[in-house]
Structure 1
Amino acid sequence: MSNNIDRRNFFKRITGAGAILAVSQLPAMAEDNPSVFPKRGQYERLALAFATIEIGLKKPFTVLHISDTHLTAAYPHENEIKQRLKESRTQCFGGRQEEALRDSLTWAKEHADYIVHTGDLIDWQSEANFDLVRRYFGKDICGCIGNHEFSIDMGISKNPKQENTETYKDYTRDLLQKVYPFDISFQSQVINGVNFITLDDVYGTVTPHQVALFKEEVKKNIPIVLCMHVPFTTDQIWRASQRFWENKFASDINDENYTPTGDYKAQKTDATTRDFIAYLKKEPLLKAILSGHLHVTVEEQFSPTARQYVVGSNFLFHGREVLFV
């Protein structure tokens, strides 16, 4: 799926046609919780990182990159499992996820040209969460889904058994495609002469079909920014993630503590993904990779022409503004 759009039409659509909630209609953030920095600036609680990606563009533009909002809503009529998840997972993520998302969208309206969300907008599937997707995601927001989008109920019911496979995705793949306004498997969107490619790698791996589609996009011979949920993990990114999740000190670093598991192990063992990563490292049109999933902000050089940027969790008001020049 391929779309071309300029900034004027982008903001005309999102504020006029409701492609995402018009940020100009949002209440002042202080009204959400006046006890939070009541005498400070509106964006005081946003934890923004900044990056510059040099491509050689005639006209620079900016993108606000956010990820991992983890919305946790359920309507009263939804089943007991959804109600339990609403209570426990809202507590887990602090209860201010939607507030953080609105702050981020308002920031983008006033400071950035485009928005990229790299997955886990919702924490699990519910009617209420799907309605929030429809409210905030529109045809003109560049995005991809995360592993939590595929989670029916966080594995509580065990029917079907939740597992990191394409077979598990098949249970709700069509449903998600109806909810999300972009091709959830693979999409190309050309913005200001840069090809933003978003793809589903929510369990760390890609499919032969996605690889074939990517190589077709390369034939356009324009700069590429790859957007996906799970980063192409390296030892450096893995160690940063493990230090965060496992509470490791830097002095604890050794091979035993940092043996690849999960998505990182899958990327090392799945032949299609391993070959695709090797191919990307030699593709000069690739200029950046934007991803999330790890809930930490980390970056490193992926290839001679591309740097990989992992953004911290949006539910903690994290984001990264990327300037393309």
Structure 2
Amino acid sequence: MSKFSHLLELLLMLQYKEFSTAAELADILEVDKKTIYRYIENLQLSNIPVESKKGRYGGFYINKDFYIKYPKLEMEEMQALLLASKILSKENGFFYSDELKKAIVKIKGCSLNEDDSLFDFKENVAFEMRKAGNLENFNDIISKINYSMSRGKVISIKYFSMNRNSEVEIKLNPYTIFCKNGIWYLIAYCHSTNRERIFDVCRIKQLKITNDIFIKPRNFSLKDYLKSFRNLHLEGKIRVKVKFNKAITEFIEEGKWLMDQQIEKTSDGNTIFHTFVNELGEIKSWLLGFGTKVEVLEPEELRNDIHKEIAGMAKLYIKDFMISE
């Protein structure tokens, strides 16, 4: 990742988090602490009011009077950007077409509300999943997470589950929040599964701070936990590889579906999607939403599960086909 991208993510985290240590920022950005200090100096030289607290429990925070608002584009402005991404393609000689598309996805994600009809693609269930959250309550949710972390308060959230395609209520001990590739994540201890999990903040529909108290374990390592999402051979993780039809290649490439996803385009225009998951239930439901436009390549267990699901559905409708014939 470029220095500019690091500085932007660092600025966003400092703006929305009440306090961050150098070690925490280094783990998230995958750099050493000396680099973090240089980044902080760069921001300060740019007249961004980053304050520091020295000592054993020292760290950084940003003056609350300083605030960068997300862009709020009008519908016509967003349409112009989308049209530009179609015209400025590699086929037309524009070298940075992929970067332009990624930038537009990030702008779109923080500029539009759920009622904007331009992106209301009802035929694609997967897009509806990414729209589970909205910008209006984002600041409130982040603020409550910060408060609960600083006070050691358990939170109760309504979270959009891809597995159930509905909201579920979960109790969490929030450990930290961070921004990665334009997406905000929450790492927390989940009371339902009795383990640490990572949550997409945009999929949190509601959040309540409870009166219950928790103590963050001293042996919890942010660096080790984040490494578990990057380590391809981590015990217990399941490697998933699927092929998306070229008809939805652009749609898949524009989205940030999972934290550790990898996408590659084939010579015939299809898309190969790689990721690693803890269990297959949620991603199975997500893939079924794409119908015939996706094929599971690995693992065999997931491929067989989807085959059984399709076979079961066929039994429900086979009689109708026989009668119609």
Taking structure 1 as the reference length, the TM-score comes to 0.24
Q: Which has the higher helix share?
A: 2
Q: Which has the higher strand share?
A: 2
Query: 1 or 2 for the larger relative contact order (CA 8 Å, sep ≥6)?
Result: 1
